[in-house]
Amino acid sequence: MGLDKKPLREVVGRLVVTKEGKRLGTVKDITFETRTGELIQMLLKDHTAYVKNLNLEITPQKEMIIPYNSIVAIGDFVVVSEEDLM
């Protein structure tokens, strides 16, 4: 999935939206495989009420987890595929 590599600091704080334009929240943090640098998941902060419609994993700190395979694009926004979150 050809996501351009962006420095972590550029992605944290970006708005996360679905392909359909529904706002989910903002990127709080990113988890990646240290050996390969492969992105594993993103943590969502300031999540919207719409997130409750999705079947997202939640950390013990009540943060929503967006899996890597649902990320479609990272630009001005982080765009995710809602179908991949269900």
Question: Where in the chain are the domains?
Answer: 8-85
Asked whether the CA dihedral 41, 44, 48, 49 is positive or negative, the reply is: positive
5-46 tens-digit pLDDT = 556 678 899 999 999 999 999 999 988 888 887 878 999 999
36-48 tens-digit pLDDT = 878 789 999 999 9
CA distance 73 to 54: 19
List 66's β-bridge partners, or say none: 42
* CATH superfamily, with its number, for domain 8-85: PRC-barrel domain (2.30.30.240)
- Tell whether pTM > 0.85: no
